[in-house]
């Protein structure tokens, strides 16, 4: 199985060296890297070009102007030729067995996607802590990844992605959340309980930026669109609004999933599902 590593870059060239070395150190060797630069104003293209020069496994493309995360991530898919795809941010890195353990799941299970645990790192990519909320999920029509249970390293089958409407190119954030929900509507997912992804926290990272509230709003809109796509008209006895109003309204609808009774029922369902 050929693996396409997909990288959407915008002004993260200074971090790419770590990303690059984590890729070329992979124990699984049948891979390609698709990089689309979103009109960076720094020296990203120079750094990326110098590191990858002469290596035909790296394919670099550029947007003529800055178009945003959704547009650029969708663009990477247009150039990918692998059977399995996975996004890697240019300021992050993979553990050396990330591809190997992910591909192994596809050989052993009838699944559409995989995801693993991640390690939070400091600006120099030094490990700081685990993100402990990542765990096995009950994948049904009422799963919305709120609270977050699926995160990086998320991989998925190309043929499965082609059955969806694809990444929303208008999204500036919550692009991954949108992708997870669309892919999981197509089948089962495997959780790899190993830290395979190194997530760098730094001052200019999206999750650290002042745009955090905008990202929250985008996530809420993704969930509302998912309600509509799945034909869900009410949830937990409450009606889904016909039009989107605000993020808090959507999150309030799903607050019951944080409560103990729901969590206990979910664990019981997962237990019986495992042994059925």
For 27-148, strand residue ranges (E) read 31-37, 58-62, 84-87, 93-94, 113-121, 127-130
Instruction: Please tell me the predicted confidence (pLDDT) of residue 250.
Output: 96
**Domains of the chain with bracketed CATH:** 3-210 (3.90.550.10)
In DSSP terms, 31 is beta-bridged to 3
Question: Across the chain, what does the average pLDDT equal?
Answer: 93
Encode pLDDT of 9-20 as tens digits.
Answer: 999 999 999 999
The length of the chain is 276
Which of 125, 116, 123, 91 is closest to 13 using CA atoms?
A: 91
Q: Decide if 78 contacts 8 (C-beta within 8 A).
A: no
For 250-256, the CB contacts below 8 A with 24+ separation are: 250/220, 250/221, 250/223, 250/224, 251/146, 251/220, 254/144, 254/146, 254/223
CA 18 to chain centre: 19
Percent of the chain with pLDDT over 90: 86
What's the whole-number mean pLDDT along residues 256-270?
A: 82
Whether pLDDT at 55 is above 80: yes
Encode pLDDT of 118-152 as tens digits.
Answer: 999 999 999 999 999 999 999 999 999 998 999 99
């Amino acid at each position: 199985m050929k693996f396409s590593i997909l990288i959407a870059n915008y002004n993260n060239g200074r971090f790419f060296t770590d990303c690059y070395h984590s890729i070329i150190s992979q124990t699984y060797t049948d891979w390609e890297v698709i990089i689309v630069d979103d009109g960076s104003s720094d020296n990203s293209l120079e750094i990326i070009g110098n590191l990858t020069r002469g290596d035909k496994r790296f394919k670099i493309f550029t947007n003529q102007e800055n178009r945003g995360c959704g547009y650029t991530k969708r663009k990477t898919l247009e150039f990918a030729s692998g059977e399995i795809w996975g996004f890697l941010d240019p300021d992050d890195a993979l553990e050396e067995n990330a591809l190997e353990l992910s591909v192994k799941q596809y050989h052993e299970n009838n699944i559409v996607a995989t995801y693993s645990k991640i390690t939070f790192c400091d600006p120099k990519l030094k490990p700081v802590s685990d993100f402990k909320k990542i765990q096995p999920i009950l994948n049904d029509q009422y799963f919305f990844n709120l609270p977050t249970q699926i995160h990086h390293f998320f991989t998925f089958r190309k043929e499965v992605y082609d059955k969806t409407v694809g990444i929303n190119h208008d999204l500036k954030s919550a692009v991954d959340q949108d992708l997870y929900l669309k892919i999981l509507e197509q089948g089962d997912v495997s959780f790899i309980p190993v830290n395979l992804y190194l997530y760098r926290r730094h001052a200019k990272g999206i999750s650290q930026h002042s745009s955090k509230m905008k990202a929250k709003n985008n996530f809420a809109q993704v969930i509302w669109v998912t309600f509509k796509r799945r034909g869900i008209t009410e949830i937990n006895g409450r009606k889904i609004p016909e039009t989107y109003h605000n993020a808090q309204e959507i999150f309030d609808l799903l607050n019951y999933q944080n409560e103990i009774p729901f969590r206990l029922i979910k664990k019981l369902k997962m237990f019986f599902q495992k042994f059925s």
